[in-house]
Amino acid sequence: MIFASFKDKKFAFLGAGIIAGVFIERLLKAGVTRPENILATDIRPERLEELKHQFGIQVSGNNRDGAAFGDIIFIAVPPNVVKSVLTETRLVVYPNKLIVSLAAAIPTWVMESILIDTIPVLRMIPNTPSLIGQGMNPHCLGQHVTAEHLPLIEELLRVFGETIRIEERLMNAATALTAVGPTYIFPVIKALKGAAMSKGFSEPEAQVAAAQTVLGAAQLVLETGKDPDALKLMIGTRTLNEEEARAIFAAAVETAFEKISASEKKLSP
């Protein structure tokens, strides 16, 4: 895969937590850029040293260094410090840069109200399978994104997997579904793995069988476009209590949505 749009671009990560590590690793493994073109900032020197040692990237304890360095600036700090980080760095963020916010619960208009110039802002919901280019990262666009910015934005999103462009009012629901979503699925894989092992599978055999079963079922939905209720009819034996399963997953998504929405209400002016 060729990422021509990024040939001369530099990437900054303001915040160097887990999701920043996921995105940094993907940028490097996909061949999008070289380590010297990435700079990460954080308040934790030990985390910066870890990333520097692991990936060979540049690091700094100063967010202004990152904002000045990057053409594409990822906001990867916790939501409650996004406004302070943008306030700290806004004097070195110019209209030729792109802000990519990975923070939940902070609308684009809040970020735009802090930035001095008409800076293009891409807000995306990060998803951990982005590490292997299989993420589902819904996104929305700030008011200063123009048609000129779209090719770069679309190519950047493709690096990490699939995406859908949605209205910003749906971003909290997207966060509850896709960002938190792997935590709903990993226990399913773990349970299927455990059941297989109880019947005599070795652990490696059980893990591959369980994970591939989930992957294959998901791919069948995507490639056929059929409703899951129709696809389940292809299998003669069905033993899952579907009403209970639906209630469990619906409750998990709703709880996540309520938490994220409460955070947005608290953090927005």
Residue 207, CA distances (Å) to 191, 193, 196, 235, 261 in order: 10, 5, 9, 22, 35
Residue 117 gets which letter from DSSP?
S
Q: What is the model's pLDDT at position 238?
A: 94
Q: What is the pLDDT of residues 46-65, one digit of tens each?
A: 999 999 999 999 999 999 99
Residue 234 sits in a domain of what CATH number? 1.10.3730.10
Q: Which residue matches tokens 């916010």?
A: 101
For residue 233, what pLDDT is reported? 96
In a domain, 175, yes or no: no
Residue 147 lies in a domain: yes
Extended beta strands in 92-220, E state: 98-101, 121-124, 135-136, 139-141, 161-162
pLDDT tens-digit readout, 174-220:
999 999 999 999 999 999 999 999 999 999 999 999 999 999 999 99
pLDDT band at 75 (very low <50, low <70, confident <90, very high): very high
Residues of the domain holding 77 = 4-169
34 CB burial (10 A radius; 0-12, 13-18, 19+): exposed
48 and 83 in a single domain? The answer is: yes
Mean pLDDT of the chain: 96
CA-CA distances (angstroms) from residue 72 to 123, 125, 126? 13, 16, 16
CB 181 within 8 A of CB 125: no
pLDDT, residue 5, reads: 79
Q: What pLDDT score was predicted for residue 2?
A: 52
Contacts of 107 (CB under 8 A, 6+ apart): 123, 168, 171, 264, 268
256 and 145, same domain (yes or no):
no
Q: Is the pLDDT of residue 86 over 90?
A: yes
pLDDT of residue 211: 98
Q: Under 8 Å CB-to-CB from 45, ≥6 apart: which residues?
A: 61
Q: How confident is the model at residue 3 (pLDDT cuts 50, 70, 90)?
A: low
CA–CA separation, 245 and 134 (whole Å): 25
CATH code, domain with 42: 3.40.50.720
Please name every residue paired with 192 in a beta bridge, in sequence order, or none if there are none.
none
Interatomic CA distance for residues 99 and 156, integer angstroms: 12
- Are residues 25 and 144 both part of a single domain? yes
Residue 131 is classified by DSSP as: G
Whole-angstrom distance, CA of residue 67 vs CA of residue 197: 50
132 and 252 housed in the same domain: no
Q: Could you tell me the pLDDT band of residue 78, with boundaries at 50, 70 and 90?
A: very high
Give the model's confidence band at 7: pLDDT under 50 very low, under 70 low, under 90 confident, else very high. confident
